A = this chain, B = another copy of it.
Amino acid sequence: MSNQKTNVAVIGASGYAGAELIRYLLAHPCVRVSCLVSESNAGNPISEVYKGFLGQDLPVCESMDLDSIAARSDIVFQAQGNGVGMKIAEKLLSRGKRMIDVPADFRLKNVETYRRFYNSDHSALEALAEAVYGVPELHAAEIASARLVANPGCYATAAILALAPLVCGKMVDRSTIIVDAKSGVSGAGRSKLDSSGLFCEVNEGFKAYAVATHRHTPEIEQELSVLTGEDVMIQFTPHLVPMNRGILATAYASAPAGSDIGPTNCLQELYSNFYKGKPFVAVLPPGEQPCTKNVFGTNFCHIGVAADQRTNRVIVTCAIDNMGKGAAGQAIQNMNLMLGLPEATGLLAPPVYP
Contact = CB atoms under 8 A, between A and B. Distances in A.
Contact of A302 (B51, B185, B248, B300): B51
Copies of this chain present in the complex amount to 4
Given A202-B199, A212-B308, A248-B239, A52 B295 contact: yes
Contacts of A178: 178, 252
Interface in A185-218: 185-186, 190-191, 193-195, 197-209, 211-212
Contacts of A190: 195, 198, 200-201, 354
A193 to B, nearest CB: 5
Contact of A197 (B52, B176, B198, B242): B198
Contact of A293 (B205, B246, B291, B296): B205
Interface string A327-353: 000000000000000000000111111
Given A193-B193, A235-B311, A235-B315, A207 B244 contact: no
A248 B207 CA distance: 7
Given A198-B198, A308-B235, A352-B352, A204 B204 contact: yes
Nearest to A210: B289
Contacts of A302: 51, 54
Given A200-B190, A212-B308, A311-B233, A207 B243 contact: no
A250 B209 CA distance: 11
A122 interface: no
Interface stretch (A19-27, A94-102, A131-139, A142-150): A19-27
A208 B185 CA distance: 19
B52 A350 contact: yes
Nearest to A194: B193
A56 B353 CA distance: 15
Given A52-B294, A54-B300, A315-B235, A244 B27 contact: no
20 contacts: A19-B353, A26-B348, A52-B351, A54-B302, A185-B198, A185-B199, A203-B244, A204-B204, A204-B244, A204-B293, A205-B246, A206-B292, A208-B250, A208-B289, A211-B308, A212-B306, A212-B311, A235-B315, A242-B242, A352-B352
Given A52-B351, A212-B310, 19 more contacts: A51-B290, A52-B293, A52-B294, A53-B350, A178-B252, A180-B180, A185-B200, A190-B195, A193-B195, A199-B201, A206-B241, A206-B292, A208-B304, A235-B308, A237-B315, A239-B250, A242-B242, A242-B243, A296-B352
Interface of A: 16, 19-20, 22-23, 26-27, 50-56, 176, 178, 180, 182, 184-186, 190-191, 193-195, 197-209, 211-212, 233-235, 237, 239, 241-246, 248, 250, 252, 279-280, 282, 284, 289-298, 300, 302, 304, 306-308, 310-311, 313, 315, 317, 319, 348-354
